[in-house]
Amino acid sequence: MSTASPIAPAASPAAPSPWQGFVAYLTPLRLALALGLAGLAAVMLGPIFIIPFPVLLGRTMFVGLWALLAFAAAGQWPRRLPRWWARWLFQVLVVALAVPVATLLVYLVAVGGDFASLIRSEGRVMGFLWIAGSGLLVGPLLAMGALYRQRDAEARNQALSFELERSELERRALDARLRLLQAQVEPHFLFNTLANVRALVEAGSPQAAPVLRSLIAYLRAAMPRLQDETACLADELGLVKAYLELMHLRMPDRLVYEIAVPPELLRLRFPPMALLTLVENAVRHGIDPSEEGGRIELGGLLEDGQVRLWVSDTGVGLVQQMGSGTGLRNLRERLQVVYGEGAALDLQENQPHGLRAEIRFTP
């Protein structure tokens, strides 16, 4: 008998390295946004600068890219900050410091590294103040906006991660429940079949030996399929046919059967021993108690997107408490675990006598 496997905790993905996080942050969209805002700043500052616009544009773009790199780096290094210092505040302060530093580098390059020449030029000092001031006004605000979007994205990713983890745990719980239900089916089937063989032996029937050999061959072929999670309806019909042949050997003049299921349904996923439970009930509670025996018909069809499979017999019909037995209750639960709440098993009386059991589900 199989047992339910324990539910192992889901493995957490490995955290990226600081360098990987830094590179991942510099997406083409963010680079384009930084260059676009720097270009807009150049257009706005253009009327008050006497230098050519391409030169001004190059300087503002350099400052914008430098601020973006500083913002991304401050998000990764250092890995740990003091408890009293929030990461977002650290990033905003780094951007505020990076803007004047980048602007100073731009102007030092323009004067060949001569700092004294730079501070003696009133025009360059004013240019430095305009670019650095504009960057200090806009840069921290943009950094805070980016942080807000980043936190919002992280919150949504975390919510999605929790939802995926919850779905996975639910799937594992359903799988464990299905295995437990299936483990209850196997002994139920085996005990009933062995009871039939014992009755045949005790009655001294000459069919006892052939039936026992057929039973052994049937179980040898059937047992490996009982735990097959990929079993399809064709597999199930193979088991049912073998079982009915076995029962026909036992009572050749009292049992007639027919299996007619459309080929398009044969590859559908189907829980092992679901139809076999119904056929077994038809033999045990319908045909066996009847002096005349009877006929068992197994059929199916696809109608309006819903699959209908039925087992109909002409035996003694519905007996009291049959619909609430362990096998049928177990089968209803298994169908709902595999196909959802819409799956159903109905029992109806056949006219003039007999029982029709029908399974309905949406594949």
- Give the Cβ contact number of residue 281 at 10 Å: 22
Contacts with 314 (C-beta within 8 Å, 6 or more apart), sequence order:
286, 294, 295, 350, 353, 354
Distances (CA, A) of 52 to 48, 49, 55, 130: 11, 8, 6, 16
Distance, CA of 349 to CA of 354 (rounded, Å): 6
Contacts with 81 (C-beta within 8 Å, 6 or more apart), sequence order:
87, 90
Reading the block at residue 250, the tokens are 């036992």
Are 48 and 130 in contact, with CB atoms under 8 Å apart? yes
Task: Name the pairing type of β-strands 306-313 and 344-349.
Answer: unpaired
Distance, CA of 291 to CA of 225 (rounded, Å): 34
Count H helices and E strands in the chain, helices first: 10, 5
Are 267 and 336 in contact, with CB atoms under 8 Å apart? no
Distance, CA of 136 to CA of 171 (rounded, Å): 52
| DSSP secondary structure of 257-297 | EEEE--GGGTTSB--TTHHHHHHHHIIIIIITT-TT-EEEE
Q: Which residue has the tokens 């230098």?
A: 51
pLDDT at 358: 95
Distance, CA of 278 to CA of 275 (rounded, Å): 5
Of the candidates 134, 49, 54, the residue with the CA atom closest to the CA atom of residue 100: 134
pLDDT in tens, 260-293: 999 999 999 888 888 988 998 898 888 888 888 8
Contacts with 180 (C-beta within 8 Å, 6 or more apart), sequence order:
3, 4
Q: Is 229 helix (H, G, I), strand (E, B) or coil?
A: coil
Are 185 and 327 in contact, with CB atoms under 8 Å apart? yes
- Residues β-bridged to residue 345: 359
pLDDT at 312: 94
User: With a cut of 70, which residues of the chain have pLDDT below it?
Assistant: 1-15, 173-190, 192-193, 217-218, 221-229, 319-324
Are 362 and 342 in contact, with CB atoms under 8 Å apart? yes
Secondary structure element (H or E) that encloses residue 345, with its range: strand 344-349
Are 123 and 110 in contact, with CB atoms under 8 Å apart? no
Reading the block at residue 151, the tokens are 């936190």
pLDDT at 9: 43
pLDDT in tens, 152-185: 888 888 888 888 888 777 777 666 666 666 665 5
